[in-house]
Amino acid sequence: MIIKKYIVLLIMLLSVTSAYSQIDLLRSKIENILSGKRAKVGVAISSLDLKDTLSVNGNDRFVMQSVFKFHIALAIMNLVEEGKLSLSQEVFITKAELMPDTWSPLRDKYPEGNVKVTLDEILRFTVAQSDNNGCDILLKLLGGTSRVNDFIHSIGINDVSISKTEEDMHKGVEAQFANWTTPIAASMLLDKFTYTYSQNKSLNHLWQIMTETTTGPKRLKGLLPEGTVVAHKTGSSDTNDEGMTYAVNDIGIVVLPDGRKYSIAVFVTNSYEKYEDSEKIIADISKAAYDYFLDKSSK
């Protein structure tokens, strides 16, 4: 289970101004990246290893979209760690559970359904490939969105709300706004995960899955040096008839060459930029953060 006692440390790290003046330079770079952009952007960056933190619109609420699959995966792994679930157990998936008009590599592999699939395989589809059907199957296994919401709150992350399934969100655009978080809350959750995954077999397994994420290659990873390890989870929405995209998100943990890490959460919402330009906002902020922490780690 994720260790609760570090929440006080994380709150302190995310609520105080860094003693290093360089953080102001990073903030200035981020402000320049955002200048003139037709979107609202939330950013939270934190490093327990290098004892630094920064946020922009950090306490504002942002639509998560598929970012909430990370929260779901944590709830699943908590039950695995407690022995209530097993990654090797088989879950029977009916054809009716495989929605046809949604992103689902799981459905593409098992188009007729009525098949037993291991929990581990469903988890991999859901996290690494952001499978929407896999997401709702995991939610059913957990007992619904409220179980995930309660679990995340129980470990000290309060600025988050999870109440809608992927099926719910496909019924109307308004439903997506019920699943929200703040950038600071997302970064705090990543920090807790970072601190504990190496000490916890189940969370270490999730870490490996997140490093294999195939979605959003042009976001957090887009401008980083080839081979940089990034354990991340993306979230994306449709674009409406007026050309506004509700959400282009990516949150994750980046490993520096010396092994030290930092968390970064970037949410781009209500964006009138081209989709690829919204992704580049994330990539540019990610590169600025990487350069900052790389320089700091070398001193």
| pLDDT tens digit sequence for 143-193 | 999 999 999 999 999 999 999 999 999 999 999 999 999 999 999 999 999
H/E/C letters for each residue in the chain?
CCCHHHHHHHHHHHHCCCCCCHHHHHHHHHHHHHCCCCCEEEEEEEECCCCEEEEECCCCCEECHHHHHHHHHHHHHHHHHCCCCCCCCEEEECHHHCCCCCCCHHHHHCCCCCEEEEHHHHHHHHHHCCCHHHHHHHHHHHCCHHHHHHHHHHCCCCCEECCCCHHHHCCCHHHHHHCEECHHHHHHHHHHHHHHHHHCHHHHHHHHHHHCCCCCCCCCCCCCCCCCCEEEEEEECCECCCCCEEEEEEEEEEECCCCCEEEEEEEEEEECCCHHHHHHHHHHHHHHHHHHHHHHHCC
CA 104 to CA 166: how far, in whole Å? 11
The predicted structure's pLDDT at residue 5? 47
Please give the mean pLDDT across all residues of the chain.
Answer: 93
| pLDDT tens digit sequence for 246-287 | 999 999 999 999 999 999 999 999 999 999 999 999 999 999
Contact 223, 283 (CB under 8 A): yes
CA 285 to CA 267: how far, in whole Å? 11
| pLDDT tens digit sequence for 36-89 | 999 999 999 999 888 889 999 999 999 999 999 999 999 999 999 999 999 999
Q: Per-residue b/e over 203-234, b at no fewer than 16 CB within 10 Å? A: bebbbebbeebebbeebbbbbbeeeebbbbbb
**Known catalytic membership, residue 90:** no
In the set 97, 166, 273, 279, the catalytic residue is: 166
Contact 160, 181 (CB under 8 A): yes
Contact 287, 26 (CB under 8 A): no
Q: To 5 degrees, how large is the angle CA 182–CA 187–CA 188?
A: 95
Q: What is the reported pTM? A: 0.92
**Known catalytic membership, residue 174:** no
In the set 47, 66, 104, 237, the catalytic residue is: 66
> Could you give the maximum distance between any two Cα atoms of the chain, in Å?
59
Structural domains of the chain in order of their starting residue, each with its CATH number: 4-297 (3.40.710.10)
Q: Does position 17 have pLDDT exceeding 50, yes or no? A: no
Contact 41, 157 (CB under 8 A): no
Token pair for residue 12? Answer: 């302190």
The predicted structure's pLDDT at residue 82? 94
